[in-house]
Structure 1
Amino acid sequence: MSIEPIRPAGEARRGPRPHRAHGRSTNHLPGPVLGAAIQASRVDALVVTMTPPTASAPVPPDPAQHWLPPRQVPAPFREVLARERELLAIDEFAGPPARAHRPKVLVVSGMSGVGKTTVTTHWAWSNRSRFTGGQLFSDLSHYRGRGAVATVEVLGGFLHALGVPAQVIPPDLAGRAALFRSRTADAPVLVVLDDADQAAQVRPFVPSAPGSVVLVTSSHRLSGLLVEGASSLALRPLDAEAGYRLLVDQVPDEVRRSLPRPDVDAVVDLCGGLPLALRIAGARLAEATNWPARTLRKYLSDDKHRLSRLAVGGHAVRHVFDTTVDNLHPRLRTFYRRLGLHPGPEFSVAAAATVSGLSESDSAEALDHLFEANLVEGVRPHRFRFHDLVRLHARAVADQDEPAAEQESILDRITSWYLAGARAADVAVVGADRWRSCAAPSATWPGPAFTPATAVRWWETERRNLLETIRTAEDRGDDQAVLALCEALWPFYHGHKLHSDWIEAHRVGVRSALRSGDLVAETRMRNQLARAYLELRQFDQADAELEAALAAAERSGEPRAAAVVRESRGVAFRDRGEWPHAAVEFEESLRINEGVADERGTALQLYHLADVLVRAGEPERAIELLTRAAGIAERLGDDMTTARVDIVLGAAYQELDLPSAARPFLERAAATARERGQRAKEVEALRRLLVVLGETAPAALTERLTQLADAAEREPPVGC
């Protein structure tokens, strides 16, 4: 600071006059003086010029205090984090201090409640001795929404903690950042910035000394910092075993020993592996007399109230999600809550556009913002998903803020979208000439045209969403949508043997048919449900459904309804090994299909009847029927019926001990099924082909069959 008094022109500079006190001159000041002092008997005008310290200027020590390096990182409450891999990852990131050549910045990101603060502070506390220049900590959520003002304040606090006197701390951000770099140039410093929400909040806090580390926790990914060279560590919810360890960590030993593991595992699953939710549930379990595990499991099983029930002692899962969403732009908040009405947790950009009412390009941009905020996660290109608890939150916000009429409109749109897709896939796989009793959806499929293979892939990708759409349609009383979806999904469920989805969907279908009083629909739903029971060899359930289906078909007066039930009754007798009874049912179904001129139905009944004849030891007669069926299927361009016929032709020639005749039919059937994505039929064809080829079978066929079997075992249950 320079001080220069203003004198009248021409007046000579004179020395300062001594101050008079009680008639005596004195040159003393009471008490210590920090900084500059002015001594004068009179000053007419004064010009004061403040020159802030530069980055290279030495900082005077504060004589009023004995300065020690700050130790601001809070101590952890508990040792059990179930985050050993993440702590090791931070160890590897920080590296040995002796080999450090520069400061490092790590962004620890993840959804709200995933344990970012706990992990970073645990590591910082455990490694505090290596940072001899001090450890600094700030919870930036206390300064949320104040932008650069917050950064200036936090920097001022850090500088003061580093021993810089308050009167020499610059007022501006640039000056404080420069001084911070100077002050942290000599020894490694650890900086923990908790709950940052933008990259600009972090940049001024990077120390200068090699070996320094900046740990940033954020519900956002802070991609801007990554572009500039920072590293990232994404925290995900805990797996089942780690979640169990964290949950029971709070439970006294005498209670823990008596906890039923199935109930505790169910609670872990209901918490979605989210550490905050698990800690809250663990606090409940610790009160064993009030909250036995089974009671807590039931208490949290209600999707509608689970979020509000995951709260204890001022800690609430809903609150941390609310905080993240409240910081979104209003347009993104609307997009987020509308996504909560989507019938499944995973969705494509096109489905998000259908729900939100935005274009696909705008929806893709909005999803990028939600991804950056860790509210959705990417599962593959152009496809995202909600965490289970975030999905419940988005739905709760929609129920709270979205008008009821708009909610109904959104659900109508997305139901029609999935129904149009399922129907378009059905036509691509089976053909347009299949008998369909449900009215076609009013909406046309807006996506790309399906081939048989892409149709099956779409079905597989949207499997869970399609079942959830059926559930949602039932909840809304939309029986027509339920029935149309079940009809369209029949080839998928049957061809891929997805028995859990198949049974649940068709149980819903039966209820919808009964409510609507549609006898033909009731016939089809019961008949298709019975076929799932038959494949599981649950014959009593199958017989009951077929009996009710036949009664409904006869009351309806629709001959094709009766024909499909006769076919299924034939399958039931065939699976029991009752060939004559099976042949009678297939012959009756064949007669009905020929009577209504249903060529595809005729070809299928010829195939079924021939299959029974091969099993009954009449392969010559079977070949005659199969030749006729093959001609019809070829005329219709029905590749899958041709593949079915080829498999039975291979079996017939195999029965006649003519392997060379059987081989081309089985090879063609396997190729067609593979091209169409029909794994069950490909397995059937390959198994027969391997028998036919014997020792000459190439290893590739065996490997392919093994792959298909492994894939079937890995198929996750979705329905029941």
Structure 2
Amino acid sequence: MQYGILGSLELRVEGRRVEPTRPRVRAALAFFLLHSGELVTVDALIDGLWGENPPRTARAQVHTVVSALRRLLPAPDHVAWESAGYRLNLQQGVLDSARFELLVTEAQRHLGSAERERAVGLLREALALWRGEALSGIGAPFADAARARLGEQRFRAHMMVADAELAGGDCSALIPELSALSAEFPEREDVAERLARALYFAGRQTEALAVLRAVRALLAEEYGVDPGRELVALEGAMLRGDLLRETSSGRRPASGVRPSSGAHQSPQAVLPAGPAPSGTAAAPPSAPAGPVPSGSAPSGAAAAPGDPRAALAPSDSASPAPAEDQVASPPSPGSPVPRQLPHDLPDFIGREKEMATLLATAERSPCPAPRAVVVSGMGGVGKTALVLHAAHRLAAAFPGGQLYADLRGFGAGEPRTPFDVLGRFLMDLGVSGRSLPEDVDDRAALYRAALADRQVLIVLDNARDTHQIGPLLPGNGSSAVLVTSRRALAGPHGATRIVLHPMAEDEQHRMLERFCGEDALRTDPESASLVLDACAGLPLALRIAGAQLATRPTWSLNTLARRLSRGGSRLRALAVDHLAVHDTFVLSYNGLRDSGQPMEREAARAFRLLGLWPSHPVAPEAAAALLGEPLADTTDVLDLLADTHLLQATDTGGYRFHDLVGEFAEQCVLAEEPEAEREAALLRLVTWYSAAAHKANSLTAPVVHLGPPQAAAPLPDFHDGRDALAWFVREMPALKAVIELAGRTSRPELAWRTANAMLGYGHAYWWVGEWMQCLTKAMAWARRHDDLMGQAYLHNALGAANGMAYRNDECLAHLQAALALHRETGNGDGQATVLGNLAMVHHQAGRLREAIAALEESRLLRLQLGHTQDSATVLSGKGFLLRAGGDAAAALEAYAQALETFRSQGLDKFVAGGLFNIAECLRILGRSTEAFAAYAESLTLARKMDDQDAVADILHGTAQMHHEVGDLEQARVHWEEARAVAREYGLQKVLEESAEALASLGEDAGSAP
């Protein structure tokens, strides 16, 4: 469950929006979310919802509203009653406002430090949580103050971003954001001041002055006041051209901006003039761009000629240390300074948070250990683009140069060995190729010595494993290493790890806008949405889509959307020139399939077979059934696939495909697995899901009619009925797919058996309509296969589903059809069950005589079949109907007959229930002595079984009996005890009834619900 108040009130269950329709329920939920984790008294809730003039029924309405919320919210987020009020305890990370505050707090720790960009990234992530005005559409009295408080927090975050960006010098990108804030808050001097500074440092001095004069005029006209001293001083500094001398806060102009006078020289001025390669720092003239000729040594080297260490010896003539705000001094004249970074992407977009982490790690002061960042993720997710973009930004901080190697860990041919890469790197650093050692460890030692006194940025792209990169690491922290891999690497030790996921929605939108233009997205948002859905957040896919638009000028956004939306052909469509999403997945998959390690080949087989189930998360147990392998072995290969980023781990312990990877896996299984193996694997999966549904149903449904099929893997371990219901909710999309798949297997009856095994879910969530859809789909398969037994059971279930929704006519029609089919197939148990359901629908429709007749027929049939206990249960149902119809004496007789059977079979739970029903009838009939005895025996049994629900009901009934005979003191004692039990165990109905009863006795029932 995810909750949102930074905009309109929003609830999402696994991505699906849930909408509370009643305004009062929406307002109450918003109030609880604002006070999450706090104790909210009933009085506080009344004050929040109605203000100073609540209605007379406000307290009762609060209980009704809370009951509605409890039905809406999942069990972990239940609104709990405590001694003095209610408490909503949310799980961490599910409320957007709490997430916003955490991000802002974390950002504040980094402001003013060397991690400014990380702070900005955190603040922008926090601000991205806002969807509009907080609590939009909530009109309760508490909402305005809350809106103002949250809005001020948002405003402060904007101001922190502005200050941090101004301090960093990147002012031009800040101007649109500050302009929008200025339009929203034209009278805020703090906004005007920051906007003016941004404009001034971006070289737009005239506009900066206009902003200050506009706010001066507004303050004078609207409020009759002058601007504050800071704004006046700022305007004067701009007019004099000495703004930099006025800014003691550390703000600097944007790169390249030179205010008219008094400006300090930019640090970049120490570099020589002249062009430099795109994205790299300009090299000093004394530093050659490549390795020195073989055998040469740097000027001033102390080692003997011919010694390979001669190329590594430091110069005797060290340069003076640079000033604090200057770049580090370049290497000595004659030393090679490699500049090997491939070209940067000029249109790189997004990844602000990851970029901040990358830069902060690589830029921190040299330390004893090497600085290393490992960026991992699936193919096409943009690992290399991110690392190269960061490397170009970092280049100036590493005057010793930049080394780059594609390790070809995943690709055509063999991965590059550390031995070969070390040979190239050593020559690039000026070590003679003729004197390189022939042992990889010796080469690594020489390489570490070459880097010991240099600041070099090393980029190791496309690594296969830790062994491949280990020898390529420097020995100290003067240099830094950036690694990309499709695997989650265990090493190097102490590295910062970034797992790159598909792009966020706003990043995808910005990237597509860069390719096709803002006008195209604005005029055809539906096609834009289809393209984004097809690309599924993969930067490579979006870049291919953009290239297709660029190279095919006759294509519109709609044309591209239609091509990408064709079923099953996205991977074929996402290709242009040498770029293809399909090919990048092939590299990862072939690396496993063609591996020399058996476990990796087994992981490739698992990947293929999981392609039969590409659209749904899969638990390890379900995957074990699909693969036909032991659970422990299955878990190992699933983890390996997740480490290789061919699968994604879910927060519930399962695994799922990225959308496009799932489509690729489906292609692999169809191309490489025999049809017989595909059918066998699907049947194992369908059987497992059907068996799991039966197990969950046994914990959630009052009656279980059919046994489960035999599964090929362990079933889920449910703690209780609530856990089983949560499984049904989580797996509902998968169960729908299972019902459809089952009808196509060699065991089509699993379709209706699975749907029929969802009765417990139907009882809890009948109003959603999901169970009805499953039953209808299963009925289509049962009819297609002429399965009369399946149709009979499904008609009964459809009758129950309609009955729960009070569609009595539809319910009756289905039940009558079920009864006819069970009679045709000779299924006595099925007939007895349907007759019991017919009794319930007749009673619901007010036809008491027909209801009792149906129950009696059901009871006699169960007796004929030898089901004595079932016949007694039906007899209890008959007693309930008679009592509901006002015939307490006849009901007493039916309950007494049922109790005799329950006692004879030693069924204490049923005996306790039967005694309570008898006591209730005796109370109605005024036979108090017998009633008290029945209540007392029932209470003893309920306490013996620790059945607290029953204990609370029995105490309440006993109190009613005392009240009716005039013993008010004993009535009070029993109602207080009933209320205490109900409060402890969350029994809302008894809690409310006992509170009302105590109030009727003149006692103070407090604010208990």
**TM-score, normalization by structure 2:** 0.53
Identity of aligned residues (%): 29
C-alpha distance in 1 between matches for 2:832 and 2:752: 19
Q: How far does residue 507 in structure 1 lie from its aligned partner after superposition?
A: 1.6
- Equivalent residue for 1:362? 633
Q: Deviations over 1:243-294 (max 9, x none)?
A: 4444444332221002335x65565455443333344456667879756559
Distance of aligned partners of 1:569 and 1:514 in 2 relative to their CA distance in 1, 3 Å threshold:
same
Instruction: Compute the displacement of 1:479 (Å).
Output: 1.8
**3-state SS in 1 of match to 2:739:** helix
Q: Measured at CA, do residues 533 and 652 of structure 1 come closer, stay the same or move farther in structure 2, by a change above 3 Å?
A: farther
Superposition pairs of residues 421-440 of structure 1, within 5 angstroms: 421-427=692-698, 434-436=704-706
Equivalent positions of 1:196-595 (< 5 A) are 196-208=463-475, 210-225=477-492, 228-260=493-525, 264-265=528-529, 268-269=532-533, 271-281=535-545, 290=555, 292=557, 296=561, 299-300=564-565, 302=567, 304-328=568-592, 329=595, 330-342=601-613, 345-379=616-650, 383-427=654-698, 434-436=704-706, 441=709, 453=721, 464-476=733-745, 478-495=747-764, 497=766, 499-536=768-805, 545-546=814-815, 548-549=817-818, 552-553=821-822, 556=825, 558=827, 560-568=829-837, 571-572=840-841, 578-579=845-846, 581=847, 584-585=850-851, 587-595=853-861
Give distance in 1, aligned partners of 2:987 and 2:674. 55
Residue of structure 2 in register with 1:11 after alignment: none
> Which amino acid is 2:349 matched to?
V
Q: Using the alignment, how far apart are the partners of 1:74 and 1:654 within structure 2?
A: 89
Distance 1:259 1:640 in 2: 65
Partner of 1:716: none
**Does the aligned pair in 2 maintain the 1:626–1:649 contact within 8 Å?**
yes
Matched residue SS, 2:537: coil
Deviates more, 1:637-646 or 1:389-398: 637-646
The residue matched to 2:309 in structure 1 has which SS? coil
Render the CA deviation track for 1:43-64: whole Å, top value 9, x for unaligned: xxxxxx9854379646999999
Looking at structure 1, the residues matched to 950 and 570 of structure 2 have their Cα atoms a distance apart, in angstroms, of 49
Letter in 1 for 2:371: K
The answer to whether residue 436 in structure 2 is matched with residue 135 in structure 1 is: no
Q: Which residue of 2 aligns with 1:106?
A: 373
Counterpart pick for 2:343 among 74, 87, 91: 74
Deviation of residue 685 (structure 1)? 8.5
Q: Distance in 2 between the 1:181 and 1:169 partners? A: 14
8 Å Cα contact 2:407/2:415 also seen in 1:
no
Rounded to whole Å, the distance in 2 between the matches of 1:337 and 1:121 is 33
- Distance (whole Å) between structure 1 residues aligned to residue 625 and residue 537 of structure 2: 30
Deviation of 1:401 (Å)? 0.7
**Contact preservation (8 Å) 2:795, 2:818:** yes
- Cα distance change of structure 1 residues 346 and 91 upon mapping to structure 2, 3 Å threshold: same
Contact 2:410 2:588 in 1 (8 A): no
In the other structure, the counterpart of 1:12 is: none
Secondary structure (helix, strand or coil) at the match of 2:463 reads: coil
Counterpart contact for 1:651–1:688, Cα < 8 Å = no
Q: Residues 554 and 143 (structure 1 numbering): CA distance in 2 closer, same or farther, change over 3 Å?
A: closer
Equivalents in 1 of 2:367, 2:924: separation in Å? Answer: 75
Quick check: 2:345–2:385 contact (8 Å CA) kept in 1? yes
Which deviates more from structure 2 when the two are superposed, residues 634-643 or residues 120-129? 634-643
The alpha carbon displacement at 1:615 in A equals 6.4
- Structure 1 partner of 2:224: none
Does 1:115 find its partner at 2:382?
yes
- AA in 2 matched with 1:182: A
By how many angstroms is 1:503 displaced?
A: 2.4
Asked whether the 8 Å contact 1:563–1:588 carries over to 2, the reply is no
Equivalent residue pairs, number: 637
| Residue identity opposite 1:322 in structure 2 | V
Q: Which amino acid aligns with 2:670?
A: D
C-alpha change, 1:363 and 1:536, in structure 2 (3 Å) is: same
Q: Which residue of 2 aligns with 1:90?
A: 358
Task: Provide structure 1 residue ranges, at least 5 long, that are not aligned to the other structure.
Answer: 1-31, 37-48, 674-681, 706-720
User: CA–CA distance in 2 between the matches of 1:654 and 1:114?
Assistant: 72
**CA offset at residue 238 of structure 1?**
3.5
1:689 aligns with 2:982: no
- In the alignment, the residues of structure 1 paired with residue 753 and residue 293 of structure 2 have an alpha-carbon distance, to the nearest angstrom, of 88
Question: d(CA) in 2 for partners of 1:33 and 1:427?
Answer: 80
Task: Return the alpha-carbon distance in structure 2 between the equivalents of residues 628 and 513 of structure 1.
Answer: 40
SS class of match (1:177) = helix
**1:337, distance to aligned residue in structure 2 (A):** 1.5
Give CA deviations for 1:286-331 in whole Å, capped at 9, x if unaligned: 87975655983795363x4444344344433322221101011333
Which runs of structure 2 are paired with 1:162-173 in the superposition (5 Å)?
Answer: 162-164=429-431, 173=440
With over 3 angstroms needed to count, the CA separation of the structure-2 counterparts of 1:593 and 1:244, relative to structure 1, is: farther
Q: How many Å separate the matches in 2 of 1:643 and 1:305?
A: 63
Q: Distance in 2 between matches of 1:447 and 1:172?
A: 53
Matched letter for residue 215 of structure 1: L
Tell me, what secondary structure is at the counterpart of 2:487?
A: coil
Correspondence 1:596 to 2:862? yes
Taking the TM superposition and a 5 Å limit, the aligned residue runs for 1:644-659 are: none
Quote the Cα distance in structure 2 between the aligned partners of 1:166 and 1:533: 83
Indicate the larger mover: 463-472 or 290-299: 290-299
Kindly provide the CA deviation profile for residues 623-661 of structure 1, in whole angstroms up to 9, marking residues without a partner as x.
765676677678889999999999999999999999x97
One-letter identity of the residue aligned with 1:592: S
**Alignment-mate amino acid for residue 595 of structure 1:** L
Q: Distance in 2 between matches of 1:221 and 1:473?
A: 37
Say which of 295, 302, 309 aligns to 1:53: 309
Contact 1:189 1:209 in 2 (8 A): no
Q: Does the aligned pair in 2 maintain the 1:240–1:269 contact within 8 Å?
A: no
1:188 aligns with 2:455: yes
1:288–1:621 Cα change, 3 Å: farther
| C-alpha distance 350-557 of structure 1, shift in aligned 2 (>3 A) | closer
**Deviation of residue 521 (structure 1)?**
2.0
Gaps of 5+ in 2: 1-291, 297-304, 317-329, 596-600, 953-982, 1000-1006
SS in 1 for 2:632: helix
- Supply the RMSD in Å over aligned alpha carbons: 5.1
Q: Do the aligned partners of residues 59 and 630 (structure 1) sit closer, same or farther apart at CA in structure 2, a change above 3 Å counting?
A: farther
